[in-house]
Amino acid sequence: MIKNLQTYSRSFFTAAWLGWKIESNWTDPFLFAVYSIIKPLAGAFILVVMYGVITNGNFGTPIFAYLYIGNAFYRYVGDVMTGVAWAVIDDREHYRTLKYMYVAPIHIPFYLLGRGIARILTSSFAVLIIMLVGVNFLHLTFDIAKVDWPLFLVTLVIGILMLAMLGLILAGITLLIAQHDFNVGDVVAGALFLFSGAVFPLEVLPAWLRPIGFIIPVSYWLELIRRSLVGNIAQAFPTFTGLSNLELLGILAGLAVVFGVISVYVFRACDHAARERGLIDLTTNY
Amino acid sequence: MVDTPAIETAGLGRIYKIRGAKKEEQKELVALQDVNIHIRTGELFGLLGPNGAGKTTLIKVLTTLLAPTSGWAKVAGIDVLKNPEAVRQLINMVSGGESSGYGLLTVRENLWMFAQFYGIPSKEANQRIKTLLEIVGLADRANTRSSSLSTGLRQKMNIVRGFLTDPTVLFLDEPTLGLDVGAARDVRQFIRRWMSDDPRRTLLLTTHYLAEAEELCDRVAIINKGKVLACDTPAVLKQKVQKESIFEIKVESPRLLVSQAFSAIECVTSVHFYPEDSHTVMKLTLREESAIAQVIALLTEQSARILSLQKREPSLEDVFVQLVGARIEEVENDDAPAD
Amino acid sequence: MTMLPPINKRHTGWRLFLMTVWGRAYPRVVGIQRERSWIVFDILLPMLAVSAYVFVYRAIKAPEDYVGFVIVGGAMTAFWMNVMWSMASQLYWEKEQGNLALYIIAPGPMMACLLGMAVGGLFATTFRAAAILVLGSLLFNVSYAVVNLPMLLLIFFVAMTALYGMGMMTSSLFLLLSREAWHIANLAQEPIYLLSGFYFPIKNFPFWIAAAGSFIPLTLGLDAMRQLAFASGPILGFISVPLELGILTGLAVVFLLASRALLNYMEKLAVREGRLTESRA
């Protein structure tokens, strides 16, 4: 047991160091900072402009706060999932080291999770910038004194763990597919955007699509984030009004565990299939 | 009428700027220094040297992938820097240990694709592919995806790619790397046959297998640390060493031999010791064969037991050792410029 | 008897150009048939992402034409992705795999190679764009009011030409840079979506911001297509369609000429700096 824990931690922390080196080492710090600020802000501003065009810049409404905060924290979804899943492509196709990682006495899932850490850090920075811009320039209704910090921190941690598990599912699938032009994590995050209530309440969706939103943990996570940061505004939307914070937290934690278990099985199955088919050291780029 | 050399360089140099761990640290790496070679049309020319000697750098310059930082280079009389497009019409390159093409495509498809980049019509390309695959023994894998091939078979496919376009000047950078003994022998036979089929073809081969260079090459240049140390036919290079006698003595010694004592003997040009598990091999070059008696006497004085004594014909390795001062494997262990 | 007869005739000039295009397109054309995960990841999932923006407009009670704007913009992102990732940054992967050196030393022009990459990906790209356009229009009951179909097609064609010319220019950066270029392309994605008005009319920007964004061919292309395809298009258009067509034509010419010059220049620079062979940075 202790030996396993040592293996897991060695795999995780070495991968985290490596992930940070790769993420941060491609350019000078100034350009890296610009990259880390401009990209997420531009993404946020697409929705800001869409909203501003229709409402003539009326940013003081609850729906804007709903949309803006949901979109800001949704960055974690794409970034964490990409951070974990992209390591498979990077190591397999680019650095050609995946086979050596497999041969080494490390725990591959923990290795992949460690590789995702760097993205979590850059994502956190991006979310902070987006929130600061929203509060200072877009009159986002946000009172720091009213933030429920314990709820926020617990939600954030559970959410990141949950997203890492989703990333692991994606990493397993990535082991079996060729490298394509797109970033698999971003594409899946883009699809989940529709169902997670990130930028509009689930009631906007047709009735037959809403159940999908209620199954994915991201919906509960974003609702809790909103409640912890802008509780009064979150209450203006009916989607989860019947559920208390504790109930939501329980559902989120439960779904995180369920998806965690699913991720273990899916990754294991995909890993087995990849090794059976000789895909670990394959380069598939075309 | 003067024949245009196939490859010619004058004062060719290449310096790399290497970034250190911190971005402010930058140092220079001299990969090539004052390289002057002249390769005639129809020659199979070998470039011999340890890893990091500058062989691949020279190939990159000649194949228009890398600009020299000093001097010039011409292929078939065309400057590689001023007119690379014209050079590319005439050349091809195969690097050992690297795969080319795409894993998703079959062997035939990969080769056909490259033929397209050289303007070879599909019908003719397919015919040539078929013939070449038969020659190298890959005909039965023509429709196999290249991702399913072993390293050696991928290298064979890579070699076929080089010959497929019928280049006037072909560059082979360690082509037998990764091949088994039989496959390497087949490739060497193929190279010889390809050269003999057309006297207008020229081939520059880099290798650090001395036996391969000796077997194949009309002339050989020995390069180390970016400099060409010697350039001539293997026979002439060996003759330079052959003026002296080369002896190889296997010695069992209770303690380390005093090497300076042997160097001090008159007529001993060089002596090198190669310790192995249970004995030491001494390689001596003597101006006068009679000096061997003094060597034996000294060994006896140092309580060394002679296990065997052999007079050898010089090899390219001896030439290399004399020029560089160490065996090729020993030089590879030293810090050397990147290839 | 010789092993192999000499090659009878090697094609050069335009024939070599076209052969190179087809040669490089081939792995893509064949690849999408042999590895089909792109159907899910390149068509189905992006369709869902575009739908999310539709529902944002529905949530804030936008006029229905805006739904159409999102659908058309979402379809056009396929072409942007093809240019940036299938063409431009593909050179980065080619360099890492060692194929770039082999393309450079071959007589086939690099422009043909790039075009081949783009053409090869065009089937999947067009399929993606068509799927988003058709499915999106059906699912969300988009009403089109096409006033001039030939003009619409002309705008599309010219915008694509300019876009691919711009893509070739960007590709030249990848000859010189390694991972930085890949990250810069990644960095540019959202700002381009914002500035080009993929999901909203750029008329809403201050004039000079919209003008700056117009250097990206898709900006004016999308604006003109919306003006020609939707009832409220002309009111929400940035500048007139004929003017946009003229600018796009100019951009196409400039980008194509500049891409050739820049590719040559960057290749020479990369040869001088020794950046053409693998870096694994």
pLDDT, one tens digit per residue, over B173-229 is: 998 887 888 888 888 999 999 999 999 999 999 987 888 888 899 999 999 999 999
What pLDDT is recorded for position A26?
Answer: 65
Q: What is the mean pLDDT of residues B123-138?
A: 93
Residue C141 resides in a domain: yes
In whole angstroms, give the CA distance from residue C121 to residue C103.
Answer: 18
> Shortest Cα distance from B196 to chain C (angstroms)?
9
Cβ distance B104 to A178 less than 8 Å, yes or no, reads yes
User: Which subunits sit against B, judged by 3+ Cβ pairs under 8 A?
Assistant: A, C
Residue C281 has pLDDT above 70, yes or no: no
Q: What is the mean pLDDT of residues A111-119?
A: 89
What pLDDT is recorded for position C251?
Answer: 96
Instruction: Name the 3-class secondary structure at B313.
Output: coil
Q: What is the mean pLDDT of residues C67-83?
A: 91
Residue A119 has pLDDT above 60, yes or no: yes
Best B22, B24, B98, B102 member to test A by mutation, with max A CBs in 10 Å, is B102
Q: Is C17 on the interface with B (CB under 8 A)?
A: no
Confidence band of B16 (pLDDT split at 50, 70, 90): confident
What pLDDT is recorded for position C253?
Answer: 96
> Shortest Cα distance from C10 to chain A (angstroms)?
26
Residue B333 has pLDDT above 70, yes or no: no
Confidence band of C139 (pLDDT split at 50, 70, 90): very high
Do the bridges between strand B7-19 and strand B70-75 make them parallel or antiparallel, or are there none, so unpaired?
antiparallel
What pLDDT is recorded for position B330?
Answer: 65
Cβ distance A28 to B23 less than 8 Å, yes or no, reads yes
Residue C239 resides in a domain: yes
Q: How many CB atoms lie within 10 A of CB C34?
A: 13
User: Closest chain C residue to A285 measured between Cα atoms?
Assistant: C93
What pLDDT is recorded for position B25?
Answer: 61
What pLDDT is recorded for position B326?
Answer: 66
Confidence band of A39 (pLDDT split at 50, 70, 90): confident
> Nearest Cβ partner of B102 from C2, C27, C107?
C27
Which ranges of chain B does DSSP label H, i.e. alpha helix? Answer: 55-62, 84-88, 107-117, 122-136, 151-164, 181-197, 210-216, 234-242, 259-263, 292-301, 316-324, 328-333
User: Closest chain A residue to B104 measured between Cα atoms?
Assistant: A284
What does the block give as tokens for A75?
Answer: 């960055």
> Shortest Cα distance from B43 to chain C (angstroms)?
18
What does the block give as tokens for C130?
Answer: 């068509």
ipTM of the prediction: 0.87
C187 to chain A: which residues are within 8 Å by CB?
34-35, 38-39
| Contacts B–C by Cβ distance under 8 A | 125
Instruction: Name the 3-class secondary structure at A130.
Output: helix
Q: What is the mean pLDDT of residues C23-32?
A: 89
SS (H, E, C) chain C: CCCCCCCCCCCCHHHHHHHHHHHHHHHHHHHHHHCCCHHHHHHHHHHHHHHHHHHHHHHCCCCCHHHHHHHHHHHHHHHHHHHHHHHHCHHHHHHHHCHHHHHHHCCCCHHHHHHHHHHHHHHHHHHHHHHHHHHHHHHCCCCCCCCCHHHHHHHHHHHHHHHHHHHHHHHHHHHHCCHHHHHHHHHHHHHHHHHCCCCCCHHHCCHHHHHHHCCCHHHHHHHHHHHHHCCCHHHHCCCCHHHHHHHHHHHHHHHHHHHHHHHHHHHHHHHHHCCCCCCCC
pLDDT, one tens digit per residue, over A149-201 is: 999 999 999 999 999 999 999 999 999 887 665 578 888 888 899 999 998 88
Q: What is the mean pLDDT of residues A113-122?
A: 88
Give A5's contacts (C-beta < 8 A, 6+ positions apart).
none
Amino acid (one-letter) located at C211? A
In whole angstroms, give the CA distance from residue C263 to residue A226.
Answer: 49
- Domain count for chain C: 1
pLDDT, one tens digit per residue, over A223-232 is: 999 999 988 7
Cβ distance B102 to A285 less than 8 Å, yes or no, reads yes
| Domain residue ranges of chain A, discontinuous segments joined by + | 2-276
What pLDDT is recorded for position C280?
Answer: 47
Q: Is B105 on the interface with A (CB under 8 A)?
A: yes
Best C26, C55, C127, C179 member to test A by mutation, with max A CBs in 10 Å, is C55
What pLDDT is recorded for position A219?
Answer: 94
Q: Indicate if the alpha-carbon torsion angle B327, B329, B335, B337 is positive or negative.
A: positive
What pLDDT is recorded for position A27?
Answer: 66
pLDDT, one tens digit per residue, over A262-284 is: 999 999 999 999 888 878 877 76
Determine what percent of chain A is predicted with pLDDT higher than 70.
97
Residue C51 resides in a domain: yes
Give A156's contacts (C-beta < 8 A, 6+ positions apart).
A225
Residue B332 has pLDDT above 70, yes or no: no
Beta bridge partners of C150: none
Confidence band of C71 (pLDDT split at 50, 70, 90): very high
> Shortest Cα distance from B167 to chain C (angstroms)?
10
Residue C5 resides in a domain: no
Q: What is the mean pLDDT of residues B76-94?
A: 92
Residue B337 has pLDDT above 70, yes or no: no
Lowest mean pLDDT among A56-70, A174-188, B320-334: B320-334
pLDDT, one tens digit per residue, over B29-75 is: 899 999 999 999 999 999 998 888 999 999 999 999 999 999 999 99
Residue C279 resides in a domain: no
Q: What is the mean pLDDT of residues A20-42?
A: 79
Q: What is the mean pLDDT of residues A83-93?
A: 87
What pLDDT is recorded for position B2?
Answer: 57
What pLDDT is recorded for position B54?
Answer: 92
- Selection from B315, B256, B301, B244 nearest residue B282 by Cα: B256
For residues C47 and A194, is the Cβ–Cβ distance under 8 A? no
Lowest mean pLDDT among B57-66, B160-169, B209-218, C170-179: C170-179
Residue A135 has pLDDT above 50, yes or no: yes
B104 to chain C: which residues are within 8 Å by CB?
27, 30-31, 34-35
Confidence band of B26 (pLDDT split at 50, 70, 90): low
